[in-house]
Amino acid sequence: MIRKWAMRAIIAYLLFGIAIFLYLFYWADTSIPEALKGTSADPATFLNGRELELSEEYSRIRNLMFFLATPYEWLFYYLVLILGLSAIFENSAKHISKFFVVRNAIYLFWLSFASLVVMFPLSFLSYTISKSYNISTQVFSAWMKDKLIDFWVQYATMLVVVTVLYALMRKFKRRWWLAAWVVSIPFSIIMMFIQPVVIDPLYNDFYPLKDKQLEAKILAIAKEANIPANHVYEVDMSTKTNSLNAYVTGVGSNSRIVLWDTTLERLSDDEILFIMAHEMGHYVEKHIYKGIAGYLLLSFVGLWLTAKLLDKWISKRGKDWKVEKLTNIGSLPAFLLITSILLFVASPLTNWVSRYQETRADTYAIKMTHDKEAGIKTFQSLTKSGLSQVNPPLLVKIFRYEHPTMLERINRIEDYKIDDTSSED
């Protein structure tokens, strides 16, 4: 029976992969609408023939990798359960220590290590593809270093989360999900404070912006946006990627304005100011706090659903998996599987909200800078540096895109009437 269900899961995954491949490479329409051909949103106007070909190739491959990776993770958790590996990890932890926290640490290490090994081929393939298309500039040793940092940061974070979660499961038999939701609120806020000053520097070197004239211009618009920042940071990303980016991170006194060095090297001051105005638009529109509120609502519903499904699943299949009860750490793969599926199901909604907020930030940037040309050139440069599809397939946009498509962003700027808004302001 176990082999039967394992084979069914593997076959289902392979069939899904074939369907997604056919959709992305043969069925999906990524052509530019006739009405927009020849406009600034048409990639043929700012990419040469080879770049157009590469952007389509690279985007299709990256989209395929995205759709294969998430179900691959589900397959891993499912096989860990039905093949009894979770029970083996748990028994190993029990034999080594009698202490709850130590057992959790041992079990989580084995599960995390197994996940690292199983997911490594996809990660390495993704890295290799990025290198072959000259998106990634990172040498293998540096890439592996980041992977190991990722492993230990995620392990440490998960150890705290899992230990608290299963302690709550033991204490609150029926309402553990509600207790977990309440505890997640301060934890999420703490993580937002420590992310820019503790975790981010583990991966990259951050230092004050060398161009003090540009820094003065950025801080001037930051002051106008009431962002409590006294410095602008640049980060050495050119050793890792040819892509461009800039962002505002953290909350309160831990807020940081950050520019990738690739952005500084390739964009003009006006284009950089447009990007920064966009990022500051998120701050002005209070998207961080709205995002926290949305997260709390979704996590409330998600944890409630997870509790219901997990309880039924363990009751019906627990004996087959050698997981006696919900409070056993061996049930963790089932918890992770359910939450991952729910997050994927919710992604069309969360992505839609994110795209709406990004549109608002784009509008704020135009209002603040009054520079449509800089905005259009910025998005064209982002498209070129990342070999992005200007008009991606519908399923890709729904499940993957947290930003509007470049077609939408460039066309919206092109049609925006600055004089009308500036007279109102």
Query: Of 150, 405, 178, 392, nearest to 299 (Cα)?
Result: 178
48 neighbors 380 (Cβ within 8 angstroms): no
Banded pLDDT at 227 (limits 50, 70, 90): confident
Average pLDDT, the chain: 91
Range from 22-26, 194-198, 364-368, 416-420 that averages highest in pLDDT: 22-26
> Which entry of 90, 215, 362, 408 is annotated as an active-site residue?
362
CA pair distance 43, 388, nearest whole angstrom: 10
User: Given a cut of 70, is residue 422 above it in pLDDT?
Assistant: no
pLDDT of residue 254: 64
User: Given a cut of 70, is residue 250 above it in pLDDT?
Assistant: no
Banded pLDDT at 425 (limits 50, 70, 90): very low
Across 122-269, the runs of DSSP E, i.e. the strands, are 206-208, 232-235, 246-249, 256-260
Task: Look at residue 224 and tell me if it is in a domain.
Answer: no
Task: Look at residue 46 and tell me if it is in a domain.
Answer: yes
368 neighbors 277 (Cβ within 8 angstroms): yes
pLDDT of residue 219: 87
**Stated pTM of the model:** 0.91
What single-letter amino acid sits at 175? R
What count of residues does the chain have?
425
CA pair distance 289, 282, nearest whole angstrom: 10
pLDDT of residue 340: 96
Distances (CA, A) of 258 to 82, 350, 369, 395, 424: 45, 25, 19, 31, 31
Give the whole-number percent of the chain exceeding pLDDT 90.
73
373 is catalytic: no
351 neighbors 401 (Cβ within 8 angstroms): yes
Banded pLDDT at 424 (limits 50, 70, 90): very low
Most distant CA atoms of the chain, gap in Å: 74
Partners of 257 in beta bridges: 232, 248
pLDDT of residue 332: 96
**Arithmetic mean of pLDDT, 111-119:** 97
CA pair distance 421, 366, nearest whole angstrom: 10
pLDDT of residue 329: 94
User: Given a cut of 80, is residue 365 above it in pLDDT?
Assistant: yes
> Which entry of 42, 234, 279, 408 is annotated as an active-site residue?
279
Better-predicted residue by pLDDT, 145 or 317: 145
User: Given a cut of 90, is residue 2 above it in pLDDT?
Assistant: no
Distances (CA, A) of 125 to 61, 145, 314, 342: 11, 17, 35, 26
Show the tokens assigned to 402: 């947290």
Better-predicted residue by pLDDT, 11 or 248: 11
Task: Look at residue 383 and tell me if it is in a domain.
Answer: yes
pLDDT for 263-316, tens place per residue?
999 999 999 999 999 988 988 888 888 988 999 999 999 999 999 999 999 998
**Arithmetic mean of pLDDT, 68-92:** 95
Show the tokens assigned to 171: 């204490």
Contacts of 140-147 with C-beta under 8 Å, sequence gap 24+, read 142/239, 142/240, 146/203, 147/116, 147/123
- With vertex at residue 231, the alpha carbon angle to CA 226 and CA 234, rounded to the nearest 5 degrees, is 120
Better-predicted residue by pLDDT, 124 or 191: 124
Task: Look at residue 366 and tell me if it is in a domain.
Answer: yes
228 neighbors 255 (Cβ within 8 angstroms): yes
Distances (CA, A) of 184 to 176, 287, 338: 12, 19, 18
pLDDT for 368-397, tens place per residue?
899 999 999 999 999 999 999 999 999 999
Return binding residues: 278, 282, 358
Partners of 246 in beta bridges: 259
pLDDT for 308-328, tens place per residue?
999 999 998 888 888 888 999
Give the whole-number percent of the chain exceeding pLDDT 70.
96
User: Given a cut of 50, is residue 243 above it in pLDDT?
Assistant: yes
Task: Look at residue 220 and tell me if it is in a domain.
Answer: no
CA pair distance 406, 380, nearest whole angstrom: 8
371 is catalytic: no
CA pair distance 286, 419, nearest whole angstrom: 26
CA pair distance 134, 242, nearest whole angstrom: 7
pLDDT of residue 253: 61
User: Given a cut of 70, is residue 129 above it in pLDDT?
Assistant: yes
User: Given a cut of 70, is residue 252 above it in pLDDT?
Assistant: no
Task: Look at residue 47 and tell me if it is in a domain.
Answer: yes
Residue 282 neighbours by CB distance under 10 Å: 20
21 neighbors 64 (Cβ within 8 angstroms): yes
Structural domains of the chain, count: 1
CA pair distance 126, 55, nearest whole angstrom: 16
337 neighbors 74 (Cβ within 8 angstroms): yes
Task: Look at residue 156 and tell me if it is in a domain.
Answer: yes
Partners of 248 in beta bridges: 257
**Arithmetic mean of pLDDT, 190-207:** 84
Which range of residues forms the domain containing residue 195?
Answer: 2-203+286-424
Task: Look at residue 48 and tell me if it is in a domain.
Answer: yes
**Arithmetic mean of pLDDT, 128-135:** 96
Return binding residues for Zn(2+): 278, 282, 358
pLDDT of residue 251: 65
pLDDT of residue 389: 94
User: Given a cut of 70, is residue 419 above it in pLDDT?
Assistant: no
Q: DSSP letter at 97?
A: -
pLDDT of residue 83: 93
358 neighbors 281 (Cβ within 8 angstroms): no
Better-predicted residue by pLDDT, 113 or 208: 113
